[in-house]
Each structure stands twice: as C-alpha cells, then as structure tokens.
Amino acid sequence: MTLLPEEIKKDFPLLSRTVRGGRPLVYLDSGATSQKPVRVLDAEREFYERHNAAVHRGAHLLAEEATDAFESARSTVASFIGAAPGEIVFTKNATEAINLVAYSLSNAATAGPEAERFKVGPGDEIVVSEMEHHANLVPWQQLCRRTGATLRWFGLTDDGRLDLDDLDELVNERTRLVALTHQSNVLGTIPPIEPIAARARQVGALVLLDAAQSVPHQPVDVTALDVDFLAFSGHKMLGPSGVGVLWGRRELLEAMPPFLTGGSMIEVVRMEGSTFLPPPQRFEAGVPMTAQAVGLAAACDYLTELGMDKVHAHEEALTAYALERLGDIPGVRIIGPTTTEARGGAVSFVVDDLHPHDVGQVLDELGVAVRVGHHCAWPICRRYGIPATTRASFYVYNTLADVDALAEGVRHAQKFFGTV
Amino acid sequence: MTLLPEEIKKDFPLLSRTVRGGRPLVYLDSGATSQKPVRVLDAEREFYERHNAAVHRGAHLLAEEATDAFESARSTVASFIGAAPGEIVFTKNATEAINLVAYSLSNAATAGPEAERFKVGPGDEIVVSEMEHHANLVPWQQLCRRTGATLRWFGLTDDGRLDLDDLDELVNERTRLVALTHQSNVLGTIPPIEPIAARARQVGALVLLDAAQSVPHQPVDVTALDVDFLAFSGHKMLGPSGVGVLWGRRELLEAMPPFLTGGSMIEVVRMEGSTFLPPPQRFEAGVPMTAQAVGLAAACDYLTELGMDKVHAHEEALTAYALERLGDIPGVRIIGPTTTEARGGAVSFVVDDLHPHDVGQVLDELGVAVRVGHHCAWPICRRYGIPATTRASFYVYNTLADVDALAEGVRHAQKFFGTV
Amino acid sequence: MQLESMYQEIILDHYRNPHHKGLREPYEAEVHHVNPTCGDEVTLRVHLEGVGDDAVIADVSYDAMGCSISQASASVMSDLVIGKSVKEAMVIQDEFLELMQSRGQGEPDEDVLEDAVAFAGVSKYPARVKCALLAWMAWKDATARALGEAS
Amino acid sequence: MQLESMYQEIILDHYRNPHHKGLREPYEAEVHHVNPTCGDEVTLRVHLEGVGDDAVIADVSYDAMGCSISQASASVMSDLVIGKSVKEAMVIQDEFLELMQSRGQGEPDEDVLEDAVAFAGVSKYPARVKCALLAWMAWKDATARALGEAS
Ligand SMILES: Cc1ncc(COP(=O)(O)O)c(C=O)c1O
Ligand SMILES: Cc1ncc(COP(=O)(O)O)c(C=O)c1O
C-alpha cells in the first residue's frame, strides 16, 4: 500500500480502543466523521494552555498571539487547497458554508447596488443533482422558497453517475448557480466538474462545489477547478468538530452581502445603520472557533506530510479491494460505480433480504463500525428504489484487513439471518 | 473573598504563563473570552480519544456513545439555566444564536401558516438599546432591512443605566420583539428586565435577552425570567470556543421556521421539498460542535461546583474594589455605574489626556491584559462622547492583587505620558 | 455474542411472517410515520368500534418498510392491541415505551407485553429503540386522530 | 522596559504638537477612514498641483481622533509628503508600509523615512500597526481619488 496504515493508526488514540466486549475497533465510518491524530489534539490544547484570547479584538500580548495563530491557521488551510488566505472564511461546518452562500443570494435583494449581481428571484433557476447531501440540497430548496426561484436537478444513471445528457438544457440562461457535490458521500462518485463548470461560465452562472468529501480525500486545487465556491468541514479531514470552510473567489466575496452579523465583521456601527469589513472578516461574526481553526491547520499539515496524492492512492486501493471482496458475496449489490474510476472511497451496498440496519447491527457486534440509512442523501435511495444502504468509508488509517473484517461481517449477517 | 481565586488559578494552565519578558500574567479580559480549566480541556480530549463519532447519524457503538455525550451535555447546560433539554439549541456562539432568531423572523414570510405569528414587515417595530453589543444590534438592523420593519431603541442615562422613561411609548402595539442585553459588556450595567418584559407581554411582543455576559457571571434561571429567548457563548464561561447556546420557550421553537438547513434537521427530504424535525434538532443542521458541547458541559459543572451565587459575590467584591481603586486616581473617570448595584464586573474607564490604546499598551507591558476600544458596542462611545474606553473584566480566578496591578498600571501610564 | 439477545427467535419469526400486514378497509384514521435517521416508513390505519377510551380496536392494518426490528414490532403491536379497548391498549403502549427507554435495565411484565417482552434486548441499543417504537407511535397517533374524529 | 522603544521621543513630540493638523481649503479629495477594532478615525484632505504622478502634493490637512501612535503618524506623514511629487511620496509610503509589516525586523532607511523611522518599534505590536498606518492609508486613498478626478 502507498501509506502505512498500521503505523498511522498509532497516531490515533481512539483507534486502539475496543468495543462490544473487547473486540478491536474497525472504524469504517470516516465519511461521517474522521478520527483525530494526537497532533491535532495537542495543537488545540497548546492553544488553550498558552495563547487563548479573543482574536482581532485585543491589543494585549495574548490577543496578538491568538490572532497570529488564527490567521496562520487560515494561511495553512488556504495553501492546502491552493487558495489565498483572504478567500478562506471559517464557518462551523460545511453546512453553514453552503447556507452562507444561499443566504447571501437572498440577502442581495435588500443589500444595495453592489450586491445587485447576486439577486435571485422568480424565473431564475438553481441547479443541483439527485446525489446531493441534504446540506447541498435543502439550503437551495429554501432559497427558492424565499425568493421564488426554481430548483432543477441532474438525474443519475443506473450505474451511479451524473446524467449529463440534459446539461445544456438544465444549465441555461436562467441558471444563476449550480451547486454540485465534488464527491458523493453515498455512491463515491466524483462527477466531471469541467464540462459543467464550462457550461455554467457560458451562461453566466456561479458554481459551488460541496467539497466535504473531496478535500479530505483527494488533492484539491481551487486554481485548477474553474469554480466559484467550495465548502468543506474540518471534522471529516482529521480536524476538530466545530470548524468548516467556505472558499470563494475574492471578487465575489468582495461584492457579497453579509450573512451572520455582529462583532468583528463591522466597519462602522451607528444605531441607524452599519457598514461592513472586507472579506473574510465580513463573514465571520462573533468570536470564532479559534482553537478549532488551529486544530484544523494541524490536520492539514498532517495530511500534507502524508501527501494527498498518496492518501488518494491508498483509498483507491482499499476501495478496489472492497469492491472485489463485497462483489464476491452472493446477494450483495453495490450502489454506485463498481470500478475505482472517478470514484472515491465511500462504498454503499445492499444485501438481498437483509435490511441495512440489521447488517449494521451484526457488523457493530463484530466491532466493525459502518453507517446505515440514507446518509443524509435520501433522494439517492428513492432513485434506486431502496430503503437505505450500508456504507463503508475509508481513510488513511484503514487497512486491507479492515476490508476483510467488513466482508466477513456481511457474510456472518447473512448466515445469522439465514438468508443464504 | 467568597471564592479562593489563588486556588482556582491553579486549575487554569494559561494563567501561570508569563508575558513581555517574564512578567506574571494578570488576565483582566474575561469579558472578551475566559480562560479554560484543565477539566474542560480534559473533557474535550477524552471525548476525542474515546467516543468521537457523528452524532444522531449512526447505529454503531461509537455513534451511540457520542450521541449520549452530546445529549447529556445538552441536559447539563439546560439545568445550568433552569431549562428543559429540548429548549437548548447549540450554535457556534451567541452571535449565531441571535442571528438564528432574526432570520427565523424573516424566514416566516415564506414558511407557511404555522410560522405566521413570527412574520415581520413594514409598520412592525423591533426595540433594542443603545448599550447593545454589535451582536445584539446589527442582526436586528439587518432584519429591519430585509423586512421593512423599523428599529427603535432605549437611550442611556448619564450614569450608564437604561433610560426607561419612554418604556410605554417605545414598546407598543407595533413592537414585535425587544432584544436587550442582560448585562452590558462595557458598562457592567444589569438592566431591569422585569418591567420591560411585563410591558412586552402586555403588547404581545417577544423578548430576547443577550445573556453572553450574564450566564457566565450570575445565577440565571429562565423560569424566573419571564422572557422568550436567551443567547450566550461557551467561551466566555470557561468553555471551549466554537459553541454557543440559544434557549427558547418550547412552544416558540416548535412554531419557528428553520434557519440553517441540511443534514440532521430534516424529517423527510424529496427533491421537490422537505419537512423538518421538531426543535432542538430543527435548528442544528450538519455535524455539530460535539466535543465543544461536551467541554461546555464540563464548564457548567465546574461553575456549579463553585456555586454561581459565590461567583457573583466574588466578582462583586472585585468590582467594588476596582471602582474604589480606580476612582482614587485623579483624571480617571468610570464609564458606567460607579456602585456595584445592579452591576456586573466589567469596569470601563477613560483617563484624561490619554487614549485607551496608550493606557492598554502600558498595562500590557506590565503584564496586565485589558481590552481597549469600543468593545463591539460602538454606540455607547458615541453616547458618552468618547473615542473608546479601557475595560477591565473579572472572573473566578481574579484576585484583589490583580486589581492593584491594574490601578498601579494606570498610574504608571499617566506618569509615562506625563499627564500628571 | 449479544446478537441473540437482540434478535430473539420471536422477533425473527414476526419479521419473517408479519401478522396483520397490508392496508385494509374500513378505518377511521391513517397516518404515515418515518424514522428520519434511517428512512424506515410505516403507513398505518386504525379501525375503532365504539367511542372514547372504551372503543374497541377492531383492526390495525399497516404497510411498512424497514428493518427486522421495526417490522417485527409492527406485527407484535397489532397482535397485542387488536381486540382490546383503547384504554387497555394504551396501558400496553406505556409499558412498552417504558421498557424501550430502560437501556437494558427494564423488567418487562410478560402478562401485559406478551411477545413484546422479546424487545427487552433492543433497549440496550439507543439507535434501534426508534425502530422498535415506530409502529407504536404511529398507532398511538392514528388512534388519537380516530378518537378526535369520532368525538 | 520596551515602552521606550515604541514611544520614542519623536513620536511623543509629534503627538503633543501635531503638524499640519486641521482641515483646510483648497483640496481635490477628502476621505474618512476608521480603524474598526478601536474606533480611531481620520478625515483627511489632499491638495495637488499638476497632474499624474508628477503632481506635487501642495497640502495635506486632516482631523483625527485616536491614540498617540495614530496622531503622531498623521503628523509625521504630512511633514514627509507635503512638497513632494506623488511619485516620490508613494516610494516613502511603500517604505513605511514595509517597515510596519516587518514585525520588528525592519531596517528603516533614514534618508527616505526621516522622522518616520521612529515607528520601527511599533512594528513589533501587530495590533498597533493599524494605528500607525491609518493616516497613510487615508492619504493614499485621497491621493488616488484626487488623481482620478483630475484625469
Ligand atoms: C454582551 C455581549 N453580547 C454578545 C457577544 C457576542 O458573543 P460571541 O462573540 O461569542 O458570539 C458578546 C461578546 O463578544 C457580548 O459581550
Ligand atoms: C457530501 C457532503 N456534503 C456536506 C456534508 C455536511 O457536512 P457537515 O455536516 O460537517 O456540515 C457532508 C457530511 O455530512 C457530506 O458528506
């Protein structure tokens, strides 16, 4: 394997614990949230024990140190995706990052001439896909509800890919924004961004990528991707909970009206009205998740040292092996692409005559943690006519043996319920 | 003193560090953010090292444990303010909590009949005060901008109190919501909530308290306060950064439309539209600040063990002493009440012929960390015709000797700049 | 292995051969409930004879999609409540709810719960408790509506 | 004590007796800048003679509210740029900006910066750098506007 997962595992205290009567833990739920290396935990703690203060608000030494730590975390995160620090907005999670853009569009209605270009209303269209996580679907449904715009979506092919047949019709002169997953958390699919972004450019639509599952798992460079916004979460990429990121092209952030308002994002405040700071501060109201940003930067450093190319290759190997091992089991059907081409390491499947909840329960009893259900992407289940799936998802600390444990667990479930 | 701050200090690793060439740190900026006891740091770390998983989304053991930890944190926080767990919404900070309510009011316009009672529009009024933190002012300015409602405000008396002379005129049949600070972060003032809430009830207006400075410093019981919403931050009450709280009366939360949308807050999702869970989940989209909620619960436990009555008494003693020591210095003028009556431990002052930045710089050089500027409450400075203030703010770990260091530092600044 | 304590034979039997399944006429109320975390769904109808608490539950019919626990629970529930008065059935429902919230510490009353005692093991798994309760909550809701309409 | 390295005598002198203070006519551009973290404000006017980069800065006048560093900086800045061409003044501004961003590591060129070298100590305090730059940024903005209007 490209990485040495057995060595990497040692950096993650939680992974050495046992579950359900002393069984070693096999953690295959990193798509929901990843575990944290000691280095990330230490970075957070060191911040609290040495430098904690309110950032951008004080003139004393601690406030200076805290502000430095926070801003240098911003630079680290920016480099991680090839962006400039001024284009990185810290949010609490990817969900807030996407909502920020959605609310900026509706706030544009009352935000004055600068924000004119973001206005959305009846006749305008927002385009998503049927494989979106709820975080990249519901905010757009709600935006349409607030503004009278229309939501449209790409369908899916039977083998779990985006159906691009209608691209030119779906993305048209009425389209204001295309919001797409950059890697499906259920199917694993990595949709082809290029033709979609090119078409969006042609008709003057903005493009937002939900990168919650891509930034943790593949090298991402915003200068190479010709898109406008990228949203992701720290907790899925070895970082702490409570911190996420919105990347936006500088000139767009400059013109966008604020979303959350309060301290640290204002320029001048009078009772009669206020003016606002430039980005990124404009979008970071209140005392931010300082220690968490510092922890996220430590996670970026850790991943950079491993090498994101290697991370991706490692997961590809695990995915290939999982597709093979699961594919060998009679009665198991993969939901999503069955090869590793343009595909990440979320492997969803159904087992004939067995409900995913029951599969998951047997796996849990064996120490194998997977996720069961609709994975916050309910429309995928409807599309494929299934109630739910069982999903295994991989990360840097997973081994081929973990995949073996998964496959054996599925066979055990079949035996337990007598379906084979 | 009621508490033993010298003993308490030992629980806070940061407070033993030195600054500016080996000087012991005198931390008088808890109003901006508090320091964290080891117990809080340990609670967060223990969560990450043992129980970390995505809450409310998994069926495996870790997911169960993480969900238990998160929900039991919710219960602890609820008890801390005398509320029911179902009335506690976790946010990233107080700022988000206040924005949540403000956006719910504007979202009500398109949210269907259940939300009718929250609708706000032209002719409606929102009432704040001139002593609000920007976090409890700008969101209401923006709400008015979005909806066409009118913002009105209580003025201040010369001695730093709310001017209630116009209460009955200001809060009237057109008033939809009164948003007030529960303890001023600049003046220290604790406004009389009862008559204002009573008047609001009379005219059918909602009442929101910005409790960012009250919940950390005085016993707060929501059943005794006859109000509708309370917002506060974890980082100001010994908890981690990245977590805040909105408390709301259950029947209101039940009827309020969602704000941030995405995973974990939905009931059923179809491409055509979605329905939402009951509160508090309805308002907690995405993977939450799990470890931070756990840390905040540990902070509540720590404060409960100290006893909030004692915390308040301790700060009262420090405030009395500070008012006396600073009052003794020729050229120093307190901005805000000069007695401890209905007053918390934020002590702001100006020094004749010395700009607060310069006072703060001298204090910082002596190891005394205070905040200088407008403290995110710019209208207060305008009201009192001053550019800024120097503010000392106290907490459980501060001693009378800290106050001495402050007073001596101010005298030193006067000498250094030759103003006395 | 703890699996056997959760998936008792009684549960697996009801799962494989659910009783009273399928939607039937007549009925006074129909409800649709979902478990938002996993997507399990149940559509359930209640047919009452009589009024108020003394009304007799003449039929409970349902269509359900979900795991073994939620399917078996629907089957056991309908077995238990059909033929009882609303008042009696509510007592059983309360008892079952208490058992499910007991986190494995409950001591179920077999006289009241009959086959439903088999779900005691499920109460140790918080994420599955909702599966076991889905049909019961739907029944309670439907019954309240049916009574509301009757009054 | 580090205080003396920040508050050099030159700075305190300019603070107590600011040069060129007060708003004067004529002027081509007036700007209002604030430091949002502390509320310091400056209103500043620029009067140019000539066009483009070769225009001479005939006057800089200002009204300012703020700390010793921001007041002294406005005074030193106006001393330095008045009488220079825009091109020359921009070089000084660049040099000063660089010094301020040096975090105490800068080696200021006294021939270019004159009295402004006294601010070297301020660059060690990130929160105060904004104070020292406030008037400079206002001047740069006003000059750009004045040139924009002339063209
Ligand atoms: C009175 C008051 N309200 C609101 C806030 C905002 O809190 P936060 O920045 O944590 O959202 C603060 C602190 O900054 C405050 O002092
Ligand atoms: C593809 C995708 N988008 C968005 C999200 C939302 O991330 P978060 O819950 O951290 O906001 C997730 C994870 O839950 C995801 O997998």
Instruction: Give buried/exposed letters for B7-45 (b at 16+ CB in 10 A, else e).
Output: ebbebbbbbeeebbeeeebbbbbbbbbbbbbbebbebbb
B147 lines ligand 1 (CB under 6 A): no
B275 within some domain: yes
pLDDT band at C149 (very low <50, low <70, confident <90, very high): low
Q: Higher confidence at residue A286 or residue C151? A: A286
Domain count, chain C: 1
Task: Tell me: cis bond preceding B37? Omega within 30 of 0 counts.
Answer: no
The DSSP output letter for D29 is E
A337 within some domain: yes
| Nearest atom, ligand 2, residue A94 CA | 11
Domain with residue D110: its CATH number is: 3.90.1010.10
Residue C116 burial (10 A CB sphere; 0-12, 13-18, 19+): buried
Residue with tokens 């057995």: A6
Say yes or no to pLDDT of B59 above 90: no
- The full DSSP string for A46-61 is HIIIII---TTS--SH
| Distance in angstroms (rounded) separating the CA atoms of residues C44 and C18 | 14
The DSSP output letter for B186 is T
Q: Are residues A161 and A233 in the same domain?
A: yes
The DSSP output letter for B49 is I
Q: Are residues B276 and B403 in the same domain?
A: no
Domain count, chain A: 2
Q: pTM here?
A: 0.97
Of chain C residues 83-142, which have a CB less than 8 A from chain B?
125-128
A58 lines ligand 1 (CB under 6 A): no
A345 within some domain: yes
Which residues of chain B make contact with A241, given a CB cutoff of 8 A?
52, 287-292
Residue with tokens 């009679």: A330
Q: Is B62 on the interface with A (CB under 8 A)?
A: yes
User: What's the mean pLDDT in B357-383?
Assistant: 96
Round to the nearest angstrom and report the end-to-end CA distance of chain B. 33
- Cα B278 to ligand 1 centre (Å): 27
- Which residues in chain D show pLDDT less than 70? 1, 149-151
Residue-level pLDDT at D151: 44
Residue-level pLDDT at D39: 81
Residue-level pLDDT at D1: 58
Domain with residue A387: its CATH number is: 3.90.1150.10
Beta bridge partners of D62: D21, D44
Per-residue model confidence as pLDDT tens digits over B141-162: 999 999 999 999 999 999 999 9
Domain of A255 in residue numbering reads as: 42-304
Facing D37 at nearest CB: one of A56, A64, A68: A56
Report the alpha-carbon angle A26-A31-A36, nearest 5.
65
ipTM of the complex: 0.96
Q: Are residues A199 and A311 in the same domain?
A: no
Per-residue model confidence as pLDDT tens digits over C15-34: 999 999 999 999 999 999 99
Per-residue model confidence as pLDDT tens digits over B106-115: 999 999 999 9
Q: Which of B316, B298, B284, B415 is nearest to B362 (CA)?
A: B415
Q: Which residue, B304, B331, B346, sits at the end of a domain? A: B304
Question: Closest Cα to atom 16, ligand 1: which residue?
Answer: B185
A11 within some domain: yes
- Partners for D (CB, 8 Å, 3+ pairs)? A, B
Per-residue model confidence as pLDDT tens digits over A323-370: 999 999 999 999 999 999 999 999 999 999 999 999 999 999 999 999
Q: Are residues B228 and B316 in the same domain?
A: no
Phi, psi of B200 (to 5 degrees): -60, -45
User: What token pair was written down for B208?
Assistant: 């929101």
Residue-level pLDDT at C38: 78
A360 within some domain: yes
- Partners for A (CB, 8 Å, 3+ pairs)? B, C, D
Q: Are residues B24 and B54 in the same domain?
A: no
Compute the radius of gyration of chain B from its Cα atoms.
22
Say yes or no to pLDDT of B375 above 50: yes
Residue-level pLDDT at C12: 95
Q: Which residue, B286, B304, B322, sits at the end of a domain? A: B304
Residue with tokens 């953690």: A27
Q: Are residues A341 and A292 in the same domain?
A: no
Q: Which residues of A belong to the active site?
A: 376
| Nearest atom, ligand 2, residue A96 CA | 11
User: What token pair was written down for B337?
Assistant: 């009440």
Of chain A residues 170-229, which have a CB less than 8 A from chain B?
none
| Distance in angstroms (rounded) separating the CA atoms of residues B184 and A100 | 29
Q: Which residue, A252, A284, A304, sits at the end of a domain? A: A304
Q: Are residues B238 and B343 in the same domain?
A: no
Residue-level pLDDT at B56: 86
Say yes or no to pLDDT of B1 above 90: no
Closest ligand by atom to A139 CA: 2
Residue with tokens 């659910």: C18
Q: Is C17 on the interface with A (CB under 8 A)?
A: no
Q: Split chain A (420 residues) into runs of 10 and give each run's mean pLDDT.
A: 94 97 97 98 98 90 96 98 98 98 98 95 98 98 98 98 98 98 98 98 98 98 96 98 98 98 96 97 98 98 98 98 98 98 97 96 97 95 95 98 98 94
| Nearest atom, ligand 1, residue A264 CA | 9
Q: Are residues A319 and A300 in the same domain?
A: no
Q: Which of B298, B235, B296, B300 is nearest to B33 (CA)?
A: B235
Q: Are residues B296 and B322 in the same domain?
A: no
| Distance in angstroms (rounded) separating the CA atoms of residues B76 and B302 | 11
Phi, psi of B82 (to 5 degrees): 70, 30
Is B341 in a helix, a strand, or coil? coil
Which residues of chain A make contact with B289, given a CB cutoff of 8 A?
92, 241-242, 289, 292
Q: Are residues A224 and A144 in the same domain?
A: yes
Facing D67 at nearest CB: one of B20, B355, B378: B355
pLDDT band at C1 (very low <50, low <70, confident <90, very high): low
User: What token pair was written down for D81?
Assistant: 């740029």
| Distance in angstroms (rounded) separating the CA atoms of residues A282 and A255 | 11
Residue of C nearest to B281 (CA): C36
Q: Are residues B17 and B79 in the same domain?
A: no
Instruction: Name the strands in the sheet holding C41-49, side by side, starting at the edge strand that comes first in the sequence.
Output: C29-34, C41-49, C56-65
Q: Are residues B349 and B411 in the same domain?
A: yes
B36 within some domain: no
Chains C and D touch (3+ CB pairs under 8 A): no
B35 within some domain: no
Residues 6+ apart with CB under 8 A from A419: A331, A351, A352, A353, A354
A147 within some domain: yes
Residue with tokens 């400059």: A254
Domain of D71 in residue numbering reads as: 2-150
Residue-level pLDDT at A165: 97
Contact (Cβ atoms closer than 8 angstroms) between residue A151 and residue A141: yes
